Chain A
Amino acid sequence: MSNTQIIADSFPALHQTIGDKRLVYLDSAATTQKPQCVIDAITSYYEHDNANIHRGVHTLSMRATKAYENARQSVASLLQASRKEEIIFVRGATEAINLVAQAFARPILSVGDEILITEMEHHSNIVPWQLVCEQTGASLKVAKVNDDGSLNIDSFKELLTKDTTIVAFAHVSNAIGTINPIREMCALAREVGAISVVDGAQAVGHIPVSMSDVDCDFYATSGHKMFGPTGIGCLYGKHALLEEMEPWQGGGDMILSVSFEETTWNNVPFKFEAGTPNIAGAIGLGAAVKWIESFGYDAMVQHEQELLAYGRDVLQSIEGVTLIGASEHNAGVIAFTVAGVHPHDVGTILDHEGVAIRTGNHCAEPLMRRFNLSATCRASISVYNTSKDLDHLGSAVQEAIRMLG
């Protein structure tokens, strides 16, 4: 962790105090802080290159188009997609999943078809499927989660049948950090002829993600959870599937020709990017990808796993603290409860100590019910955190117990 300070220095928002306490940011699963290079890329775009893309013949438009398409190439390389056309820019993972649900699933689903998800999904990987079930008459099946927070693979296999049309699951659980065996799950889905959709919002920027290795059909990401800006994310889709699909929104940039009699769709990926996109966001995301690559996933995984183990030890040594769903294969997410102190109160008291965590149901109500909880506290780690941050977390939790426990 020798270069930890250098890393933290490149994130300007981390250098502030909350009241008189140093900010300890442990809410990266909600959104990561942004390195200076990402902020600079967005500023520089607006200061020098701002123009609309894919249409102008003037210099600024060409520069903006190039930067936007370079960002697509960067994401494609990071995710090891086979070609950059497999990357569609969207608002975030939520929009990516909704795109698949509406543009891919809805036209092919009918009564008798099944969509398989898991108990640990974020609402964004539940509700789009409920909507499409309502629209088509398909039904939703839910694979169980074990007590340690890992997926019950037997339950998953059992529910995977010849009727399963789509299988959708998180790569990493946002609420408890479980890393799912997605390559195996995608292979199982393929065996029954089902299409796999992976919610990768919590994975990219933490663990290596390779489309060629995983061999999933769709993969959704959010830029702001991987050091990029909000309002931008990507949907990866296998080229052949994207080619088959109809557009989901109509507008400019997604057509080749328009007349009142007939309109011809543009090629993939532009077919799915109607209207002026979030150009600055994509460019910022491209810079975030470069930052991740310069840091390297090996160092990232090692740092976060060390901190995860350290943070679990810190919290477990406090009487009254219970870890929730601390599985063996876990990303840097620590979910916990404090005996006698409601998570909401823990959150307020921790904030007073300068420690930012998330409290509540983490948009994963079914998972909370699975653990008989209405809410938890969640500390989530990123590359810029240090063991000192987790020491602060521990002492702030002790303060909460002293006040209300």
Chain B
Amino acid sequence: MSDLRELYLEMVTDHAKNPRHRGKADPYDCIGTGNNPVCGDKVVVTVQLHNRTIESVKFDGEGCAISTASADLMAEVLIGKSVEEAKKIFKGFHELVTGEGTSDNLPNKLAVFSGVREFPMRVKCATLAWHTVIAALDGVEDVTTE
């Protein structure tokens, strides 16, 4: 049986309890709403851009520890990145949590989500904010992890 401690690493529980990027980017250039119908979670992500560079990312909504920590750390690593870089990081992150890739080429902090691969039911939690931010950047309003 996979180890729970691999899923709930200290950094994950810390960001879940004390998120640094909760709220609304003011002003924001794009916004996205993500729903996870499995657990009823909802997240709203707002992004402030300067040219094609992400200046600020904020998220709001109800979520489990994994989805909250993932949203918060996502915001942290995306600040200062270009839209294209953001999409590339998401691709790598998705591969990481589904067990198709490693954290080698990802921002260091995202490695804490390596444990998610052992919990397939939680992949949607870890990727909800990411799907939402990418949709926001693409100008799509609503996404779902279904």
Contacts and interface: CB of A to CB of B under 8 A. Distances in A.
A binds B: yes
Interface of A: 18-20, 340-345, 348-349, 352, 359-361, 365, 368, 374-375, 403-404
A345 B64 contact: yes
Interface string B10-51: 000100110000000000000000000011111000000000
Interface stretch (B1-9, B73-81, B89-97, B136-144): B1-9
Contacts of A374: 39-42, 62
Nearest to A399: B4
Given A365-B40, A404-B13, A344 B4 contact: no
Nearest to A340: B17
Contacts of A375: 39-41
Contacts of B64: 342-345
B82 to A, nearest CB: 33
Given A344-B122, A348-B121, 17 more contacts: A341-B65, A343-B64, A344-B41, A344-B64, A344-B66, A345-B64, A348-B4, A348-B119, A348-B122, A360-B38, A361-B40, A374-B40, A374-B62, A375-B41, A403-B4, A403-B13, A404-B17
A17 to B, nearest CB: 9
A403 B6 CA distance: 13
Nearest to A360: B39
A95 B65 CA distance: 36
Contact of A345 (B1, B38, B42, B65): B65
A355 B122 CA distance: 17
A352 to B, nearest CB: 5
A375 B62 CA distance: 10
Given A342-B64, A345-B65, A20 B1 contact: yes
30 contacts: A20-B1, A342-B39, A342-B62, A342-B63, A342-B64, A342-B68, A343-B39, A343-B64, A344-B41, A344-B64, A344-B66, A344-B122, A345-B8, A345-B64, A348-B4, A348-B122, A352-B1, A352-B4, A360-B38, A374-B39, A374-B40, A374-B41, A374-B42, A374-B62, A375-B39, A375-B40, A375-B41, A403-B8, A404-B17, A404-B65
A341 B125 CA distance: 14
Contacts of B62: 342, 374
B1 to A, nearest CB: 3
